[in-house]
């Protein structure tokens, strides 16, 4: 018993392999697109993971701090800290801005965290180089995607920070790398105006006769000082004590502190359902079209491959080959093509994924699903080809 399919493949193996590679690149694109979608969702997840919080306390009636802006007084955390079930509460600020390093600037999400030590909410969970912040000012931990190196000096607004540690895969939902700096510096960076604006504000205030009264020396100074202080943060990250359910801790804070509190599940639905919903749908739509087009192309390739050897099939039929053998040959070739395609596609996707600027996540589950989908499409496509092959009149072998 010789394998008809094997024989046929060997007969024109170059054509077969190159068709497989071409198909594989197409499958690779589809897999990468799935990876882009997964990466986008995973970025949102890692944003939540990296904050290390169980609850997010934000300004009332906002979807903060990621999906909407929110501001709270920075002493609110003290009253939250004493609520039942709260293990720790930490202030945090988030601000997407340009960070300058030696003449080039990087768009980054600057995260202001309480420099309370490792493991505190808001601090990066793990590092790939360097150390965590130890000083309360002018140190930064940056994501490797920002392209900074250890001990480099970066500029955020008017202050300079030394990069003391590097993290990986700590990005905002828009994919901007995060840069962690101490909270007080971040508050300043977020709310302090540049020098020109401060000067103009001082001038405006000093020209206001209500503030510059001759009988009250010092009033103007006090007003100017009060204008340039800032006591706001964007959210309070709360870690709950073991044994408490998140909702059980969140409810009293909502009720008695009149603040908005989100649990992990709610935050996920905000991020995935609201913040990245449109772009995720966009990618998803593209993925569906790409998958459909790939399926169609696979089907056409197999169909044309079969049609290309219609004369040989007619000969086979003429010499009395069973229909089942012919169908088996076509199907085996088709599945073989699919297998090579999938392998090439998976390799290609894995090789080019690290070059992508944003995080692309190739899940083994997606690969497995992709494998079965490819096989199924090949099988279906081969059915059409089989039908065409079986309809061939053996007379064509001679007549043609």
Q: Which stretch binds another protein (CB under 8 A): 160-168, 192-200, 321-329, 386-394?
A: 160-168
Residue 246 near residue 258, CB atoms below 8 Å: no
| CA gap 220, 202 in Å, rounded | 9
Quick check: 181 binds another protein (CB under 8 A)? no
Quick check: 151 binds another protein (CB under 8 A)? yes
| CA gap 366, 387 in Å, rounded | 31
Task: Tell me the three-class secondary structure of 6-75, residue by residue.
Answer: HHHHHHCHHHHHHHHHHHHHHHHHHHHHHHHHHHHHHHHHHHHHHHCCCEEEECCCCCCCCCCCCCEECC
Q: Which of 288, 293, 351, 376 binds another protein (CB under 8 A)?
A: 351
Q: Which of 217, 320, 357, 399 binds another protein (CB under 8 A)?
A: 217
Q: How far is CA 287 from CA 45, 272, 284, 396, in A?
A: 21, 17, 5, 42
Hey, which residues between 358 and 397 contact another protein (CB under 8 A)? 362-364
Ordered DSSP codes for 148-202: --TT-EEEETTEEEEEEEEESS-B-TT-PBEEEEEHHHHHHHHHPPPHHHHHHHH
Quick check: 25 binds another protein (CB under 8 A)? no
Give the shortest CB-366-to-another protein separation in angstroms.
10
Q: Residues 213, 214, 215, 219: what is their CA dihedral angle, to the nearest 10 degrees?
A: 50
Peptide bond into 153 cis (omega under 30): no
Quick check: 10 binds another protein (CB under 8 A)? yes
C-alpha 79 chain-centroid distance: 34
Quick check: 134 binds another protein (CB under 8 A)? yes
Please list the helix, strand and coil fractions of the chain in percent, rounded to the nearest 5, in that order: 55, 20, 30
Quick check: 223 binds another protein (CB under 8 A)? no
| CA gap 134, 1 in Å, rounded | 74
C-alpha 218 chain-centroid distance: 53
Quick check: 317 binds another protein (CB under 8 A)? no
| CA gap 267, 50 in Å, rounded | 13
Quick check: 347 binds another protein (CB under 8 A)? yes
Taking the least distance from each CB to another protein, the nearer of 322 and 369 is 369
Taking the least distance from each CB to another protein, the nearer of 127 and 198 is 127
Give the shortest CB-299-to-another protein separation in angstroms.
23
Quick check: 237 binds another protein (CB under 8 A)? no
Give the shortest CB-251-to-another protein separation in angstroms.
20
Residue 397 near residue 314, CB atoms below 8 Å: yes
Q: Which stretch binds another protein (CB under 8 A): 204-212, 276-284, 346-354, 387-395?
A: 346-354
Quick check: 22 binds another protein (CB under 8 A)? no
Give the shortest CB-137-to-another protein separation in angstroms.
5
Hey, which residues between 276 and 305 contact another protein (CB under 8 A)? none
Q: Which of 362, 371, 348 is CA-nearest to residue 39?
A: 362
The contact mask relative to another protein for 72-91 (x = CB under 8 A, - = no) is ---x-----------x----
Q: Find the radius of gyration of the CA atoms of the chain.
A: 31
Q: Residues 270, 274, 280, 284: what is their CA dihedral angle, to the nearest 10 degrees?
A: 100
Residue 132's SS3 state is coil
Quick check: 192 binds another protein (CB under 8 A)? no
Taking the least distance from each CB to another protein, the nearer of 378 and 389 is 378
Q: Which of 283, 287, 344, 381 binds another protein (CB under 8 A)?
A: 344
Q: Which stretch binds another protein (CB under 8 A): 105-113, 133-141, 202-210, 383-391?
A: 133-141
Residue 111 near residue 152, CB atoms below 8 Å: no
Give the shortest CB-317-to-another protein separation in angstroms.
22
Q: How far is CA 19 from CA 115, 303, 338, in A?
A: 58, 13, 10
Q: Which of 22, 130, 284, 394 binds another protein (CB under 8 A)?
A: 130
Taking the least distance from each CB to another protein, the nearer of 84 and 119 is 119
Q: Which of 15, 60, 149, 204 binds another protein (CB under 8 A)?
A: 149
Give the shortest CB-217-to-another protein separation in angstroms.
5
Chain residues in the site for another protein (CB under 8 A): 9-11, 13, 17, 49, 52, 75, 87, 114-119, 125-132, 134-138, 144, 149-151, 164-166, 168-169, 184, 214-215, 217, 231, 239, 242, 340, 343-344, 346-347, 350-351, 353, 362-364
């Amino acid at each position: 018993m010789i394998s008809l399919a094997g024989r046929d493949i060997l007969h024109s193996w170059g054509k077969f392999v190159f068709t497989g590679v071409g198909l594989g690149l197409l499958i690779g694109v589809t897999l990468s697109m799935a990876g882009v979608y997964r990466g986008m969702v995973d970025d949102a997840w890692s944003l939540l993971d990296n904050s290390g919080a169980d609850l997010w306390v934000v300004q009332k009636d906002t979807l903060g701090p990621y999906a909407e802006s929110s501001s709270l007084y920075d002493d609110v955390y003290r009253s939250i800290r004493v609520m039942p079930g709260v293990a720790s509460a930490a202030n945090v600020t988030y601000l997407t801005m340009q960070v300058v390093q030696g003449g080039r600037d990087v768009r980054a999400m600057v995260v202001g965290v309480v420099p309370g030590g490792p493991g505190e909410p808001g601090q990066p969970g793990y590092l790939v180089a360097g150390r965590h912040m130890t000083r309360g000012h002018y140190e930064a931990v940056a994501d490797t995607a920002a392209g900074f190196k250890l001990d480099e000096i970066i500029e955020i607004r008017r202050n300079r920070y030394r990069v003391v540690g590097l993290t990986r895969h700590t990005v905002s939902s828009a994919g901007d790398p995060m840069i962690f700096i101490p909270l007080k510096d971040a508050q300043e960076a977020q709310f302090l105006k540049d020098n020109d604006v401060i000067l103009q504000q001082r001038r405006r205030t000093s020209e206001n006769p209500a503030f510059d009264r001759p009988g009250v020396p010092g009033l103007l100074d006090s007003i100017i000082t009060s204008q340039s202080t800032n006591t706001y943060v964007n959210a309070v990250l709360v870690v709950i004590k073991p044994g408490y359910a998140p909702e059980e801790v969140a409810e009293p804070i909502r009720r008695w502190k009149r603040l908005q509190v989100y649990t992990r599940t709610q935050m996920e639905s905000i991020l995935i359902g609201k913040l990245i919903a449109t772009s995720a749908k966009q990618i998803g739509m593209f993925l569906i079209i790409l998958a459909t087009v790939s399926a169609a192309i696979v089907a056409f390739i197999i169909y044309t491959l079969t049609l290309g050897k219609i004369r040989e099939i007619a000969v086979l039929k003429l010499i009395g080959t069973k229909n089942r053998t012919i169908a088996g040959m076509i199907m085996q070739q088709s599945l073989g093509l699919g297998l090579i395609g999938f392998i090439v596609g998976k390799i290609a996707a894995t090789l080019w994924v690290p070059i992508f600027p944003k995080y692309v996540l190739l899940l083994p589950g997606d690969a497995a699903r992709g494998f079965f989908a490819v096989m199924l499409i090949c099988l279906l496509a081969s059915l059409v080809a089989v039908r065409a092959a079986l309809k061939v009149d053996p007379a064509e072998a001679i007549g043609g």
